[in-house]
Structure 1
Amino acid sequence: MKTSWNPIKTAVTLALCGAAFAVAPLQAAEQSTAASTAPAKPAGVTMLPGDDFYAYANGEWMNKTEIPADRGAWGSMYALAEETNARIVKLIEEAAANKSAKPEARKAADFYKAYMDEAAIESAGLNALKPRLAKIDMINDRASLSRVLGEFLRADVDPLNATNFNTPNLFGVWINQGLTDPSRNVPYILQGGIGLPDRAYYLDNSPKMAELRTKYQQYIAQMLKLAGLDNAEQRAAKIFALESELATSHASREESADIQKANNTWTMQDFAAKAPGMDWKAFMKGARLDKQDRFIAYHPGALKGAAAQVAATDLATWKDYLGFHSLNQFASTLPKAYTDLRFEFYGKTLTGSPQQSARWKRALSATNGAMDEAVGKMYVEKYFPAQDKARILKMVADIKTAFERRIDKLEWMAPTTRTQAKEKVRTMYVGVGYPDSWKSYAGLQVSPTDALGNVLRAQEFNYTQQLAKLKQKPKKTEWAMPPQLVNAVNLPLQNALNFPAAILQPPFYDPKASDAHNYGAIGSVIGHEISHSFDDQGAQFDAQGRLRDWWTKEDLAHFKTASQKLVEQYNTYKPFDDLAVNGQLTLSENLSDLAGLAAAYDAFKSSPAGKGTGVEADREFYTGFAQSWRTKMREASMRRAVLTDGHAPGQYRTYTVRNLDSWYKAFDVQPGQKLYLAPEQRVRVW
């Protein structure tokens, strides 16, 4: 049996499973068929809008729709992403067959081709992983352990927009401008290193969580056995115990969303003093960060806890931990037995999906992850006309103007706060469709026959690109999302918005649809992203993206009081008897839904097509908004989302309407109906 992580000593074949290209559960509206005298119900729906507006708008869709077997959740936006992905695959296949295709398009095609070549993956085994496993096997003291942990560090997601703060390596790094100094880029060090989605999975004593922990530990043991290791159960127990200790020191989702708790500037000397146990000099050298003089310790408690475990846990367990996570992280480009094993746990057990995604979907996900803008450039050249960009920019301008007018009408806001709030709106960078300049992939080596090597080289290439930003000035216009992603984002540090091309198509944006439809669909998304600049987190950043208190004491107190009412409102929503929506965790998104929907409505009513319209148009607007959030989720996926996602499930996002007076008028919502709130109980912030 194998006892070492040296792949030279014992030949092993391994594998990892990839997920479909991630999308957020947004979806736009279809036109309402409301009559002029009373709210008409969508076909087949008997629910009154005032009792359950989500069921009223989406009941027929919910009754007819089945979640695909390879999904834990489904919605119209997922379907749009599926259609977009099918288009992209055709473009990739065309590039592969075209000898005159652009170099980066051919490179993306080679990446995809290698991922699809399952026979070559089976034959290669873990050849490309051998250098990584050899590094693990050579660990012989705490300094070499620290160095390897640093070498495995990779660029991570934006913590200000993440729904999952965990990274597959012990830590993650995100590089962007400083929280209080917008003149330079700095590394943010983030918590990570656990295989379950969140600390709650290790610490929650509920029977369901206990069952998941047992199954996860069994999965670790099965992976070790497939790798040829002896005493797999005992080793798995030690790995799980180490992860449990790491999870104990992790920040919760609510704490991670509190930017003030993340504002910790550390020097190199601070790491040794504040997080003893790790050889931080060796770690930083391995991570190629040893020349930096300033860091943001985004999760200081997790850094301290992990460093303590580096000192306290035996080296053999650390080596098993690193070996297991290497196999787990890269399994999608390893042989089938490991891919299937990983899906059994992460797919079936954690999300409830009965069937693994088709190979082409996983291949596209990996290609998007490795060469996102190369793929995006192919997509926009074919599918995003210039006139669509111009029309969306006009809609953005209209909704920004509507938001400024709402600021002007806030009786509670002092003139000094009002002036700075309006400056923030006016100076926003709004990226529509695609970035102003494209990434180059000239230095990335891609082989049409080496899937695992391609993934490893792409990670290294991306990390090197991110490190290069440490010698560059921050860029307000830098994009955080590729054009082919069906999503949108607000970037507080840049005071910027990104609306990728893929979301700017039917049913979100339809040039043939009415203004009521488009303002209710893409307009509410635009308003949502603008409003993120004024949610509980975004409101702490000024127009330059600097973390700064620009509020009067009284204004801030009013804002917090009004926001707390929204927290309490969402705390009452219970998708399960034993699990409620977390109003604090979802506050940022709920505030943005509320303010964004109100601004989109105002912009529509001020537009040439919206002026003078009555309840029919209003019903179309609001029904469109409700239909944009229609989603079906399996129980396992719903529970995971409620525990870990900063967004409330779609049903409860729809209930935003109960805080807007015009919704009551449009649908004649009366006292006694379940969603009715008396005027004084309706949450009013922006």
Structure 2
Amino acid sequence: MRFLTVSATSLLALVPATLIAQSTAQRAAPAATASAPSTTAAIDRPTYGTFGFDAAGMDRAVQPGDDFYTFANGTWAKNTSIPADESNYGAFNVLQDLSRERTRGILEGAKGDPSSKIGSAYAAFLDTAAIEKAGLAPIQPWLAKIRRVDKAGYPALLAEADRNGVDIPFGLYVGQDDKDPDTYAVNLMQGGLGMPDRDYYLSTDAKLVQTKQAYQAHLARLLTLAGEKDAAARAAAVLAFETAIAKEHWTRIDSRDADKTYNKLTLAQLAQAAPGFDFATFLKAEKAYAPTLIVAQPTAVTGIARLIAATPIAVLRDQLMLRSLDGFADVLPQAIDAESFAFNGTVLSGTPQQQERWKRAVGFTSQALTDEVSKVYVARYFPPETKAAADTMVKNVLAALGQRIRKLDWMAPETKQKALAKLAAFTPRIGYPDQWRDYANLQVRADDAFGNMLRANQWRHDYNVTKLGKPIYRWEWGMAPMTVNAQASFGLVAITFPAAILQPPFFDPKADPAVNYGGIGAVIGHEISHHFDDQGAKYDNKGRLTQWWTDADVQKFKALSERLVKQYDAYEPLPGMHVKGELTLGENSADLAGLAAAHDAYLATLGGKPAPVIDGFTGDQRFYLGWAQVWRRNYREANLRQRLLTDPHAPSEQRGNIVRNMDPWYSAYDPKPGQKLYLAPDARVRIW
């Protein structure tokens, strides 16, 4: 998985860091739902319903003006249970299930071929008998090294841990320099937490306090399973250390600010500000030594360095040991694997059952040898006509957003010209990259699951840090073709749509165009619009972090954005827990602008003619139903709580109901004053 910074954003949140050890793919199991694909032959009808929308999943007892998401999806939500190995379930998961099943077929076919790295990686991960027989022996040399380290050797060991794929108190990666996007730079950021966010350590909310207690018990059990003594006291000491780190951490709202997180320091300046940690030794051991580096949260980084200096080495060792056990739990004995899932899967996300082993094996192999799997996947499952159709839609939505920019009444003419130049500079990336990474120097064995994971982590680290001093890999994607997601990359001025998302319900060649534009068209608009959201708009047509707007434009834009922040702040998906309007601003504004641009693009395809009425729905009604359908999702409470604390995306219901700001939605569904979603014309948020 590529490191993502504020200069790249995706349609959906990535898997929380604490769950990566448990699964590198979405947890999913097919469920009997009201939105099952049509049994009519695909050649005759679209996959869903009669025009690409599952009308059986609607709840027509709900008024669109009160809750459009539930009007479109209410019966589906009532009839769809979340599979036991899922923390949530919806349209994205349906496609991820399909992608994983297809990938499984590829890997099963390669499993018996000793010359196939993907087959060997998959086979080794599935061989739980060999993993159980090996016990802790594969990880013991690394644990022994941790047990021996002293304070002087700790910085170099942290670098080795990072290369091994173990979470450490700092995050480090090589990526584009936001202010010099033709150059790679070393980026350093805060880390060190075993739970998803600082709030899990610092909040007095009863549920989060219970989670913190469960985390301490989890740490103690892991230590015991590793054969360590005095586990309870040592777990408490690690928790106290991480709680102190949490107090130093920046909030997620501050951490998404591209200006605040761009702090270029010389190594000498960093050493002076953080005398408690030897960053020079750390960077040399990382093979990422540079005279300057970009520090995302400088006060947090220096605060963590200070804590490391003041913390006994025994506690630092124990934290590394625990991060290692959790990080490699998938390929360690079942007792550790189960314990890790019990906390990271069940406590944090509410998922009662761990995935079947084959699903996790697909996830691991797809992450470890992404491009080797991808090459086969796209050859089998991504037809050229889909790529061509998506390319046409991208061009149409780009043109529509260009027209919206030209008509803005709040932006200065000179800024409009720069915005249009940025739009013209976009690189749309559809289906799969045009170049593949080479895994020739990655050793994979069919009898060494632990070694495969360790070496894959090391390969990924080395691949990243050796970019220093090289030209930017502009061909490289941040996600695999098998991933049901999409992405905007600010530094590359690129938008990315993997093969797996270009399928029903997002895109169906047999579906009504209105539904396709409300689905994948709005997704395309979303990713384009990210380049003009509150952070993406800080990057110019070269991908450079700079203010290219007039001061007056900036102030007007902030005023409009603040209205959207307040709108989302008011939503309360769980009692006492609101959507964080500032945290979700980028995604909400991308939904707002992207959906509007997609609607314009849809209207343009009609050529001035009225859309046909199908099954009683007008073209505009079908367009907004297409939008609501792709956001179908049911959540477990623990997962929704985690998302409200950590996710820059609002929950699906609130994303679906962004339509309340769209004038054409009012014409389509005629909501009345007094209904819950109704906004007077002057109260509707319009930015782009």
Shared fold per TM-score greater than 0.5: yes
Q: What corresponds to 1:7 in structure 2?
A: none
Q: Give 1:578 deviation, angstroms.
A: 1.0
Q: Give 1:134 deviation, angstroms.
A: 2.6
Q: What corresponds to 2:25 in structure 1?
A: 21
Q: What corresponds to 1:255 in structure 2?
A: 254
Tell me the distance in 2 between the aligned counterparts of 1:310 and 1:33.
Answer: 60
Q: What corresponds to 2:127 in structure 1?
A: 117
Alpha-carbon deviations, 1:490-545, whole Å to 9, x = none? 00111111110111112211111121111111101000000000000100000111
Secondary structure at the aligned position of 1:651 is classed as helix
- 1:79 corresponds to 2:94: yes
Contact 1:32 1:620 in 2 (8 A): no
Alpha-carbon deviations, 1:548-575, whole Å to 9, x = none? 0000111111100000000000011001
Q: What corresponds to 1:229 in structure 2?
A: 228
Alpha-carbon deviations, 1:345-389, whole Å to 9, x = none? 111111111111111111111112211121111110100011111
Q: What corresponds to 2:41 in structure 1?
A: none
Secondary structure at the aligned position of 2:138 is classed as helix
Tell me the distance in 2 between the aligned counterparts of 1:154 and 1:48.
Answer: 54
Q: Give 1:34 deviation, angstroms.
A: 13
**Percent of aligned pairs with the same residue?**
43
- 1:200 corresponds to 2:199: yes
1:82 is matched by which residue type in structure 2?
D
Q: What corresponds to 2:139 in structure 1?
A: 129
Q: What corresponds to 1:493 in structure 2?
A: 491
Q: What corresponds to 1:473 in structure 2?
A: 471
Q: Give 1:586 deviation, angstroms.
A: 0.3
Contact 2:27 2:86 in 1 (8 A): no
- 1:275 corresponds to 2:282: no
Q: What corresponds to 2:118 in structure 1?
A: 108
Q: Give 1:30 deviation, angstroms.
A: 4.8
Residue in structure 1 matching 2:76, options 61, 65, 89: 61
Secondary structure at the aligned position of 2:619 is classed as helix
Secondary structure at the aligned position of 1:262 is classed as coil
Tell me the distance in 2 between the aligned counterparts of 1:400 and 1:592.
Answer: 14
When structure 1 is superposed on structure 2, of 367-376 and 643-652 the one drifting more is 367-376
When structure 1 is superposed on structure 2, of 187-196 and 42-51 the one drifting more is 42-51
Classify 1:412/1:23 alpha carbon distance in 2 versus 1 (closer, same or farther; 3 Å): farther
Q: What corresponds to 1:13 in structure 2?
A: none
When structure 1 is superposed on structure 2, of 202-211 and 123-132 the one drifting more is 123-132
Contact 2:348 2:638 in 1 (8 A): yes
When structure 1 is superposed on structure 2, of 648-657 and 264-273 the one drifting more is 264-273
Alpha-carbon deviations, 1:59-106, whole Å to 9, x = none? 11011100001111100210110111011101111122457xxx5xx1
* Deviation beyond 6 Å, 4+ runs, structure 1: 32-35
- The residue correspondences of 1:260-409 to structure 2 (distance < 5 A) are 260-290=259-289, 292-409=290-407
Residue in structure 2 matching 1:48, options 46, 63, 74: 63
Classify 1:30/1:600 alpha carbon distance in 2 versus 1 (closer, same or farther; 3 Å): farther
When structure 1 is superposed on structure 2, of 278-287 and 231-240 the one drifting more is 278-287
- 1:560 corresponds to 2:558: yes
Tell me the distance in 1 between the aligned counterparts of 2:244 and 2:444.
Answer: 39
Tell me the distance in 1 between the aligned counterparts of 2:164 and 2:296.
Answer: 14
Q: Give 1:647 deviation, angstroms.
A: 0.3
Question: What runs of 5+ residues in structure 2 fail to find an aligned partner?
Answer: 1-19, 29-34, 38-46
Tell me the distance in 2 between the aligned counterparts of 1:31 and 1:204.
Answer: 46
Secondary structure at the aligned position of 2:467 is classed as helix
- 1:544 corresponds to 2:542: yes
Q: Give 1:652 deviation, angstroms.
A: 0.2
Contact 1:146 1:280 in 2 (8 A): yes
Tell me the distance in 2 between the aligned counterparts of 1:19 and 1:508.
Answer: 25
Classify 1:598/1:523 alpha carbon distance in 2 versus 1 (closer, same or farther; 3 Å): same
Q: Give 1:610 deviation, angstroms.
A: 7.6
Tell me the distance in 2 between the aligned counterparts of 1:454 and 1:369.
Answer: 12
- 1:632 corresponds to 2:634: yes
Calculate the aligned-residue CA RMSD, in Å. 2.1
Q: Give 1:42 deviation, angstroms.
A: 6.0
Contact 2:56 2:75 in 1 (8 A): no
Contact 1:477 1:496 in 2 (8 A): no
- The residue correspondences of 1:521-670 to structure 2 (distance < 5 A) are 521-608=519-606, 611-613=609-611, 616-670=618-672
Question: What runs of 5+ residues in structure 1 fail to find an aligned partner?
Answer: 1-15, 157-166
1:532 is matched by which residue type in structure 2?
H
Instruction: Please give the TM-score of this superposition, normalised by the length of structure 1.
Output: 0.91
Tell me the distance in 1 between the aligned counterparts of 2:73 and 2:221.
Answer: 42
When structure 1 is superposed on structure 2, of 277-286 and 209-218 the one drifting more is 277-286
Q: What corresponds to 1:159 in structure 2?
A: none
2:288 is matched by which residue type in structure 1?
L
Contact 1:373 1:439 in 2 (8 A): yes
1:365 is matched by which residue type in structure 2?
G
- 1:445 corresponds to 2:443: yes
Q: What corresponds to 1:147 in structure 2?
A: 156
Alpha-carbon deviations, 1:623-648, whole Å to 9, x = none? 11011111100111110111100000
2:96 is matched by which residue type in structure 1?
A
1:135 is matched by which residue type in structure 2?
K
Instruction: Please give the TM-score of this superposition, normalised by the length of structure 2.
Output: 0.91
Tell me the distance in 2 between the aligned counterparts of 1:488 and 1:394.
Answer: 17
Contact 2:214 2:343 in 1 (8 A): yes
1:641 is matched by which residue type in structure 2?
R
Q: What corresponds to 1:88 in structure 2?
A: 103
1:146 is matched by which residue type in structure 2?
P
Aligned length: 648
Contact 1:143 1:278 in 2 (8 A): no
Contact 2:176 2:184 in 1 (8 A): yes
- The residue correspondences of 1:154-233 to structure 2 (distance < 5 A) are 154=163, 168-233=167-232
When structure 1 is superposed on structure 2, of 280-289 and 72-81 the one drifting more is 280-289
Contact 2:174 2:186 in 1 (8 A): yes
Q: What corresponds to 2:686 in structure 1?
A: 684
Contact 2:560 2:686 in 1 (8 A): yes
Tell me the distance in 2 between the aligned counterparts of 1:372 and 1:485.
Answer: 11
Contact 1:435 1:478 in 2 (8 A): yes
Contact 2:433 2:477 in 1 (8 A): yes
Secondary structure at the aligned position of 1:662 is classed as helix
Tell me the distance in 1 between the aligned counterparts of 2:57 and 2:192.
Answer: 47
Contact 2:164 2:455 in 1 (8 A): no
Contact 1:429 1:477 in 2 (8 A): no
Q: Give 1:658 deviation, angstroms.
A: 0.4
